[in-house]
Amino acid sequence: MTDKTNKTGPQMEERLYQNRYLVDEGNPHVTIHSQPGGDSAALKSLTEICPAGCYRTGEDGRVEVVPDGCMECGSCRILTQATGEIEWSYPRGGFGILFKFG
């Protein structure tokens, strides 16, 4: 039932378009520490389930993250805490998502 076309690209952009963000350019608050043995199942699952579509599989087959549309839910942080593949912090105070209605 997963709509693969919806994950990144125009549909996700449209969905996030209405949201307000103050992106802290050059200071991504989510980064991946690629492990030598390859990406864990948990990290791979994020290419499907990150609600903002921040994760995708790069050309080298490894998972990449661009957290500009991140809604700071913390799902990726929790799912990878065992493997330590993600370094996650809140954006600097005032930056990041700004909910109008919540």
Q: Which residues bind other proteins (CB under 8 A)?
A: 1-3, 6-7, 12, 15-16, 18-19, 22, 42, 45, 48-49, 51-53, 71-75, 77-79, 81, 88-94, 96-102
- The least CB distance from residue 58 to other proteins, in Å, is 18
- The least CB distance from residue 59 to other proteins, in Å, is 21
Q: Is the Cβ of residue 36 or residue 100 nearer to other proteins in the bound state?
A: 100
Indicate the DSSP class of residue 94.
T
Task: Please name every residue paired with 55 in a beta bridge, in sequence order, or none if there are none.
Answer: 65
Contacts 24+ apart (CB under 8 A), 51-58: 51/75, 52/12, 52/16, 53/7, 53/8, 53/12, 53/16, 54/30, 56/7, 56/8
Q: Is the Cβ of residue 16 or residue 66 nearer to other proteins in the bound state?
A: 16
